[in-house]
Amino acid sequence: FQIDLGVDSDDLALHFNPRFHDDADGAVLVCNSKIDGCWGDEKREIDNPLQRGSDVKIELKLSGDVFEVELPDGKEVQFPNRVGMDVITYVRVMGDFKLTSFKIC
């Protein structure tokens, strides 16, 4: 699945994409940004604690110049706010999972 935060589909401050099987690294967490339709350099966390088919709570926070992604096992992934976005007006959640709650604070 993936969670995108930004101003539109071509300008994303955060693209969060847990992958359960990646040809290069196995199970990974991928973060990226997209500016004017062009992807930046991926940040890959090799330790993906998420399990396929399980219920999870993921918290995404924008703290100035960094996004903080809190995962169920207490792990936190940080990703730089490369585009300097301070207001998120676009949220897209997609993939093979069921979203039961979503809150913006």
DSSP 97: S
Residue 33, pLDDT score:
98
68-104, pLDDT tens digit by residue?
998 887 889 999 999 999 889 999 999 877 777 776 6
Give the pair of three-digit tokens for residue 98.
């069921």
Alpha-carbon Rg for the chain, nearest whole angstrom, is: 13
11 vs 13: CA distance, rounded Å:
7
Alpha carbons 66 and 84: distance in angstroms, whole number? 9
Write the pLDDT tens digit of every residue in 39-78.
Answer: 999 999 887 777 777 777 888 999 889 999 988 878 899 9
pTM, rounded to two decimals:
0.87
Domain ranges of the chain: 2-94
**Is residue 38 within 8 Å of 83, Cβ to Cβ?**
no
- Give mean pLDDT, residues 13-38: 86
Q: Identity (one letter) of the amino acid at 47?
A: D
Q: What is the DSSP letter of 95?
A: S
**CATH number of the domain located at residue range(s) 2-94 in this protein:** 2.60.120.200
